[in-house]
Amino acid sequence: MNLSKNFTLEELVKSEAALRLNIPNIPTKAEIENLRVLCEKILQPIRDKFGRVKINSGYRCKAVNEATGGSKTSDHMTGCAADLEIPGMANYDLASHISQNFKFTQVILEFYTRGIPDSGWVHVSYNPERLINQALTAVRKDIKTVYLPGLYA
């Protein structure tokens, strides 16, 4: 099933954790619609501009989200979020592009290391009822994840 010109439902629900743990990762019709909107508003325009987009994680059912350590309120569980990268583009630059060119719920530059362009990944969420344009950087402090306001390379 196509969600947009270049994105498929299969691409947005594929999960290595679900496959490894034999967890069915099947979205509802409402979650599929949220994925379609995410593709239309954010992912497809990025693919149109930059070409290839690698989706690391899209929709996650509750069990998959728990297995991957996602937050209890993760937008992945409603089909409103994806973690992505663009091969050959620094993740900081991708997060900056999203923050400067789109309306969104959250963009998080996750575990990026300055000087290592392909380190980490970019989380983006789009919930039309909560377009707050929150930009964050996730870093590890000791063994905890800390979210800093803004994008930091």
CATH topology for 9-149 is Muramoyl-pentapeptide Carboxypeptidase; domain 2 (3.30.1380)
H-helix or E-strand containing 149? strand 144-149
Q: Where are the domains of the chain?
A: 9-149
What tens-digit pLDDT sequence spans the chain (153 residues)?
999 999 999 999 999 999 999 999 999 999 999 999 999 999 999 999 999 999 999 999 999 999 998 999 999 999 999 999 999 999 999 999 999 999 999 999 999 999 999 999 999 999 999 999 999 999 999 989 999 999 998
H-helix or E-strand containing 67? helix 62-67
Enter the pTM of the model.
0.95
String of b and e for 95-106 (b: at least 16 CB within 10 Å)? bbbbbeebebbb
